[in-house]
Amino acid sequence: MAHMLWVNLNECYTHPPGHVLLSLGWGHSVPLDDLLASSSGTVHFASYALIDPDGNKTDLGLPSKIEGEPIEAKGDLKIEPGNLGIRKLSLTKETKPGTWQAVATSKENFFTKYIDKKGRQRMAQKSMDQITNANQILVSMKHLAFAKSFTAVQEWTPPKPLGYELELMPMTDLSNVHVGDLVSFRVTFMGKPVVTSPKNLRYLTATSNSFGGPDGFFIGAYIMNGKAQFRIPAAGQWVANVYVKQDVTPESYLKNLVGKCTTVYYAGTISFNVKP
């Protein structure tokens, strides 16, 4: 299972008018799994931004790799410095009402699994044409990720689509979801509704820090005519996730990637919080 990219969004109104904390999740386990740049894989970003209710964009600054030598701790433990893209959004009395979007998109990230010349199975974060010691390429993929989360100031308003290749949009007020509520999403790929057919099953999954967790299970729903929905079974932070896989062939629109990878995975997430 490929790594997910998601946005963690935590609202705090203890001191009015309040603030919102953002951070980026990368890996498998919500809310935090791995550093954005680590020995187990690095995600390279194209954008990290805040979109206001009118669709205006404010750049949040790209997360940077934290350079530095790992710290060797007592007890044979290694401590790594890192970055999670943490940002604090301080509200004011004049902050525009409506739904704000916190979004992050990745650059193309390549991952190749192969058998090297000594017969060992290896994984490298490179395109397959960059692998010089391969005896056999098992699979090589390009991964593009699109992550969103939302905060409603005073009221929820329908957020505006952003024109991503794979776009996941909420059809439900995500600012006030409770256990047992039905939550719906619209899914489009290249501007067209994603559909499920007997030859091509498309589905949306969702996981949380209180449902599935370390056991690794999740809820899922088929995407029918561009729409999917879940009835939420537990409180906590949830991440809805969708993948669209496209094969690289000389006849496809991905023909420029022939020789670099065998497949392209587009990934989209929306994170939201559920009340008891």
List pLDDT tens digits, range 232-244: 999 999 999 999 9
134, part of any domain = no
138, part of any domain = no
11-40 pLDDT, tens digit per residue, is: 999 989 999 999 999 988 899 988 888 777
CA end-to-end span of the chain, whole Å? Answer: 30
Residues 6+ apart with CB under 8 A from 141: 2, 110, 111, 112, 261, 262, 263, 264, 265
15, part of any domain = yes
The structure tokens 């005519």 sit at 225
216, part of any domain = yes
Q: What is the CATH number of the domain that holds 85?
A: 2.60.40.1930
Residue 78 CA to its chain's centroid (Å): 27
Tell me if 118 sits within 8 A of 102, measured CB to CB: no
135, part of any domain = no
138 Rama class: left (phi>0) / alpha (psi -120 to 50) / beta: alpha
189, part of any domain = yes
245, part of any domain = yes
The tokens for 251 are: 């006849």
157-201 pLDDT, tens digit per residue, is: 999 999 999 999 999 999 999 999 999 999 999 999 999 888 788
* Residue 194 domain boundaries: 4-69+77-107+143-249+266-275
The structure tokens 């603030």 sit at 19
- % the chain with pLDDT above 90: 78
User: How many domains, the chain?
Assistant: 1
11, part of any domain = yes
Q: Which amino acid is at 205?
A: T
Q: Which amino acid is at 195?
A: V
Q: Which is more confident, 164 or 81?
A: 164
251-275 pLDDT, tens digit per residue, is: 999 999 999 999 999 999 999 999 9
How many of the other CB atoms lie within 10 Å of CB of 91?
A: 18
| Distance between CA atoms of residues 159 and 101, nearest Å | 7
| Distance between CA atoms of residues 27 and 35, nearest Å | 9
